[in-house]
Amino acid sequence: MVNPYLGMMQMIAFNFPPVHWAACNGALIAVNDNPALFSLLGDTFGGDARTNFGLPDMRGRAPVYQGKYGIVQQGQRSGFEDVTLTNAQTGHNHDFQVDSLEGDSFLPFSNSNPTARYTISTANTQFPTGVKQFYADNSGGLDTLSSQSMGTVGGNAPHTNMQPTTVIGFIIALNGAYPPRN
């Protein structure tokens, strides 16, 4: 943009800020170096608001407009790039049980047949009309598989928690016309 307003942010496809622009990387700027920009940003994006103030930090972030009812505020950061779920958060157990009887009967295929509790199936679990399923009836007992047959996953390690992205640079104008209010 040829004549930006002071504090205007732009997305760029190259990897450096041009003259009179700064990367939106959370850098601290001395209030005395740019009092006009400080008058617009204050400490919204960090800094102590006496000697310095922060630029917006868009690294690993998606921009969001202020929410209605004050749910999100200008400069508020939320969300996480990585999340670690602990056993305390996800702890639960399920026994995995199988019928201990061998299949001993053929039964015409029917999705609604209540007597065919456990059926041997194909990869897509659908049988053509007239094909019979092999099943064990309800009279058998259930055996619980050993805990070594099943295990926990995750191991308290972080996992990526980001939407699909394309990285684009964000820059902010350090010079320009002071934006007028409506």
Determine the Cα–Cα distance for residues 91 and 29; give it in Å rounded to an integer: 46
Model confidence at 122, pLDDT cuts 50, 70, 90, reads very low
Rounded to two decimals, what is the model's pTM? 0.60
Model confidence at 155, pLDDT cuts 50, 70, 90, reads low
Tokens 């009967």 correspond to 105
Q: How far is CA 119 from its chain centroid? A: 38
Determine the Cα–Cα distance for residues 154 and 88; give it in Å rounded to an integer: 13
Tokens 């995995």 correspond to 96
Residue 6: CB atoms within 10 A of its CB come to 19
Q: What is the pLDDT of residue 95?
A: 65
Show me where the domains of the chain are located: 1-60+165-182, 97-145
Of the listed ranges 8-12, 81-85, 103-107, the least confidently predicted one is 103-107
Domain 1-60+165-182, second-level architecture: Alpha-Beta Complex (3.90)
Does 116 score more than 60 pLDDT?
Answer: no
Determine the Cα–Cα distance for residues 14 and 180; give it in Å rounded to an integer: 30
